[in-house]
Amino acid sequence: MRRIPILILLSVFALAAGCGPSKEVAAKKAAAEAAAKKPVEAPKPPPPPPSEFDTLRKQLAEFTTLATACDKGWFAKVDPNKIDKWELAIDIPSMEEKCDPLLRLYEALYQPAGFRHPVLDQYLRTAALVTDRYMFLAFRCKKVGVRDKIPYKKMLTELRDALRADVAGLAPGLEGVLKLTDADLQGTGSLASDARRTWTLDAVARLPQDFTSWISAPRKENAPIWRYSLMTTSTIGTRAATTLGTPQLSVDPAVVKAAGDLATAFAGAWQFWSGDYFEAEEKGSPAQYKAMKKVSDGWRKAFAKAYPKAGK
pLDDT in tens, the chain (312 residues): 444 555 444 454 444 454 455 667 666 666 666 656 666 667 777 777 888 999 999 999 999 999 999 999 999 999 999 988 888 999 999 999 999 999 999 999 999 999 999 999 999 999 999 999 999 999 999 887 777 888 999 999 999 999 999 999 999 999 999 999 999 999 888 888 899 999 999 999 999 999 999 999 988 888 888 999 999 999 999 999 999 999 989 999 999 999 999 999 999 998 888 765 555 566 788 899 999 999 999 999 999 999 998 765
| Nearest alpha-carbon partner for 116 in 185, 21, 178, 176 | 185
This prediction's pTM: 0.83
What are the residue ranges of helices labelled H in the chain? Answer: 3-37, 54-73, 92-99, 101-113, 118-140, 149-168, 170-178, 182-186, 193-211, 217-220, 227-243, 253-274, 281-306
